[in-house]
Amino acid sequence: MSIEVVNVTETTVRLRWTQPQAFTRITGYVIKASVLETYAVAALLPVSWAVPNTTLQSELPNLHPGSKYNISVAATNYKEEGASIGTVVETIIGTPDPTPPSIEIKQRHGDEMLVHIPEAQNVNGPVSMYRIVVSIELYQQGIIIDNLGNHSYAEEQGLPYYIAAELDPEDIKNDFIIGNGRTYNGYFNAPLPLTNDIEVSLGIVSEKNHIKKVRYAESTKKIILNINEVEEYSPMVVALGAGIAIGMVLLLIGIGLLIVLRKRIHMVRLQRGSQSMPLSLSEPCMEIENSEFLQDDNDRVDYYGNLKRKLWNIPRDLIDIDISCVVGLGNYGKFTRGKVKQHGAQTPSLVQVISDRELEKSDKKLMLQELDTLIKSNEHDNLISFIGICETSTTLFVVLQDMKMTFKELLIQSRHRDLQNNKFCLLNENKAIQICVDVACGMEYLQSKKIMHKRLSCRNVVIGDNGVAKVAGFGLSHIRPLHETPDYIRWTSHEMLRQNRYNPKADVWSYGVLMWEALTIGATPYAHTANKEVAARVLRGMRPSQPSYVGDGLFQLCLQCWQVDPDERPPFSSLLNELTQFAEGPGTTCLSFTHYNGFNYDLYVPQYEIVS
């Protein structure tokens, strides 16, 4: 038996091995990886994978960057494990993590600045060098990392930022003078300009085995200190300053007149439309902002009236609402079942009952934002169907098409043996992949509308009567059970767990976990880890493992979604294209639900998916 390393990345190792001589039937192989050396602060536990006897190569996921592993492969039969063969593999170093610390400013005098550089940490590789970045904030708003170079390059390109020095870790033990006119590792430490609008920040260089990774501080520290030099102002500068001040005063007067005029126009509109809009939601919402989507730059006067013109205002006599049949809770009211008379037929519906009297003004604004989100998403077949609204003098009814089953429920119900076809799942492979395609299609549309989901999982995907999947759970379509609250930490992206800062690509991470749910027929991600431990372990590199019946190409899409750097995750358009090819091909080439000896379902632990 021999073993060969085919490919190594930051977090994966691909192995290939040969079948050993055996005097008994080989039923599979077990692969083990234990850490020999690592830069991680927390201890990395040994990990193992099991693959069937038909597999002679495998990609090992969820490894830690810049770590040396002892990896072994052994054949197994039903009762015991054979002799193993091993090799030592070192993963590629990753982008330095955490972000570099802030530089401490001690003193500024003329064209020099005395600073203290704190020691940086890096769990993904060594800290090889420190870079000091100077930015003249008087001329620009931010640093484009790709354009960052030395002082000469900055002057040639007309850039107001440059690398002033690159220092060894030993060099930061003493305070450093920025602007002393010396050269450090090829970077000229140029004297600073006599201005207060200067920012200095730190970068970390990590280099090993001819691989270099650099990370710069996400925020820089602006220096506002008095420069100990006498400043002289020419008459031209004084005249220019006076002209700017006069211009600003005239501009403010013009803005004030415009605001007064807009308010008068708005009051006239309200008086004209008061009879057609009895609900007090028609009050002006001039300050609407939302982290979930970017609004168009249209006129926000009579915001509710503008929204109403985009949707069906359902007459009260066409909707039958069963107030007593409460099926869940929304962000602003309870969800009940109802029926809407539409095209001569009764359409089953879910109705969120929103009482105007119980909403604060701020909640009304947020509710209107979510209503706008729902309207924008109503144009796509793979998003929850929004029927319209019905309003009375005190209540707003938001009406959605009722879907009987979520994708999660479909998967759990499919966990049965299909004896006729020798399958361990009632849902066929191509259908499971096609539903993932539907979800990617819906999410691509949301992304194009600048709408972020934030709760993407199988429980927030519904299945229509025609089998088409529709993304739900965003905006006013979010519904949660009456007596429990879903916990989405197992679907939460790395950056959200680390910094609680939302990035649009966080939905791509969640989509990767949703795909894994589908491929494992509804299993709970990290089912062997308690809720309180999930965040810390994901930050240390834990990811859902590859089932033996899932092909490498399909699982690779999941791994791409779980890249630590959001920019390295694929857009939904790319995922959609690749998944469509899998869905249109024979399912057994990338995913096989064919039953085999020793098969067990990945664990589904309902209590781990709700807040305890």
DSSP 225-256: ---SS-----HHHHHHHHHHHHHHHHHHHHHH
When pLDDT is cut at 50, 70 and 90, the band that residue 272 belongs to is: very low
DSSP state letter for 19: P
**What stretch of H or E contains 485?**
none
Amino acid at 204: I
Residues 132, 165 contacting (CB under 8 angstroms): yes
Taking the C-alpha atoms of residue 383 and residue 467, their distance in angstroms, rounded to an integer, is: 13
Q: Compute the C-alpha angle 414/418/419, nearest 5°.
A: 160
Mean pLDDT along residues 157-180: 92
Q: Tell me: pLDDT of 285 over 80.
A: no
When pLDDT is cut at 50, 70 and 90, the band that residue 244 belongs to is: confident
Taking the C-alpha atoms of residue 245 and residue 240, their distance in angstroms, rounded to an integer, is: 9
Residues 39, 123 contacting (CB under 8 angstroms): yes
**What stretch of H or E contains 32?**
strand 28-37
- Calculate what percentage of the chain has a pLDDT beyond 70: 86
DSSP state letter for 271: H
Residue reference for tokens 């499919």: 414
Q: Which two tokens stand for residue 306?
A: 């503008």
Q: Tell me: pLDDT of 64 over 50.
A: yes
Taking the C-alpha atoms of residue 69 and residue 56, their distance in angstroms, rounded to an integer, is: 20
Smallest Cα–Cα separation from 215: which of 207, 205, 226, 229?
205
Residues 79, 27 contacting (CB under 8 angstroms): no
Helices (H), 418-551: 429-448, 494-499, 506-519, 531-539
Q: Tell me: pLDDT of 294 over 70.
A: no
Taking the C-alpha atoms of residue 136 and residue 161, their distance in angstroms, rounded to an integer, is: 6
pLDDT digits (tens, 9 = 90+) for 21-63: 877 888 899 999 999 999 999 888 999 988 888 889 999 998 9
Mean pLDDT along residues 180-197: 89
Contacts of 32 (CB under 8 A, 6+ apart): 46, 47, 48, 71, 72, 74, 84
Residue 302 region, left (φ>0) first, then alpha (ψ -120 to 50), else beta?
Answer: left
Smallest Cα–Cα separation from 282: which of 396, 194, 358?
396
Worst-scoring range by mean pLDDT, 45-59, 85-99, 165-179, 348-362? 348-362
At residue 483, the pLDDT reads 82
Residues 447, 505 contacting (CB under 8 angstroms): no
pLDDT digits (tens, 9 = 90+) for 209-229: 999 999 998 644 443 333 333
Q: What does the DSSP assignment read for 83-130?
A: EEEEEEEEPPP-S-SSPPPPPEEEEEETTEEEEE-PPP--SSS---EE
DSSP state letter for 82: E
Mean pLDDT along residues 317-338: 86
Worst-scoring range by mean pLDDT, 115-119, 215-219, 285-289, 573-577? 285-289
b vs e for 543-564, b when ≥16 Cβ sit within 10 Å of the residue's Cβ? bbbbbbbbbeebbebbbbbbbb
At residue 506, the pLDDT reads 95
Q: Which two tokens stand for residue 317?
A: 């006599």
Backbone angles phi, psi at 204, to 5 degrees: -115, 130
Smallest Cα–Cα separation from 547: which of 516, 526, 510, 583?
516
Residues 202, 103 contacting (CB under 8 angstroms): yes
Residue 514 region, left (φ>0) first, then alpha (ψ -120 to 50), else beta?
Answer: alpha
Identify the bridge partners of residue 418 per DSSP, sorted by sequence position: 423
Smallest Cα–Cα separation from 139: which of 153, 156, 158?
158
SS3 category, 458? helix
Residue reference for tokens 């539907």: 438
When pLDDT is cut at 50, 70 and 90, the band that residue 114 belongs to is: very high
Average pLDDT, the chain: 84
Residue reference for tokens 């057609």: 276
Q: Are strands 221-223 and 461-463 parallel, antiparallel or unpaired?
A: unpaired
Worst-scoring range by mean pLDDT, 154-163, 164-173, 360-369, 449-458? 360-369
At residue 486, the pLDDT reads 93
Taking the C-alpha atoms of residue 82 and residue 76, their distance in angstroms, rounded to an integer, is: 6
Q: What does the DSSP assignment read for 59-76?
A: EE-SPPTT-EEEEEEEEE
Q: Using omega within 30 degrees of 0 as the cis cutoff, is the peptide bond preceding 98 cis?
A: yes
Smallest Cα–Cα separation from 520: which of 432, 397, 409?
432
pLDDT digits (tens, 9 = 90+) for 387-435: 888 888 788 889 988 888 999 999 999 999 998 899 999 999 999 999 9
- Burial label for 347, CB within 10 Å (0-12, 13-18, 19+), is middle
Identify the bridge partners of residue 319 per DSSP, sorted by sequence position: 340
SS3 category, 497? helix
Taking the C-alpha atoms of residue 127 and residue 118, their distance in angstroms, rounded to an integer, is: 12
SS3 category, 601? coil
b vs e for 71-109, b when ≥16 Cβ sit within 10 Å of the residue's Cβ? bbbbbbeeeeebebbebebbbbbbbbbbbbeebebeebe
- Calculate what percentage of the chain has a pLDDT beyond 90: 49
Helices (H), 274-341: 303-308
Q: What does the DSSP assignment read for 322-366?
A: EEEEEEEE-SSSEEEEEEEEETTEEEEEEEEEEEGGG--HHHHHH
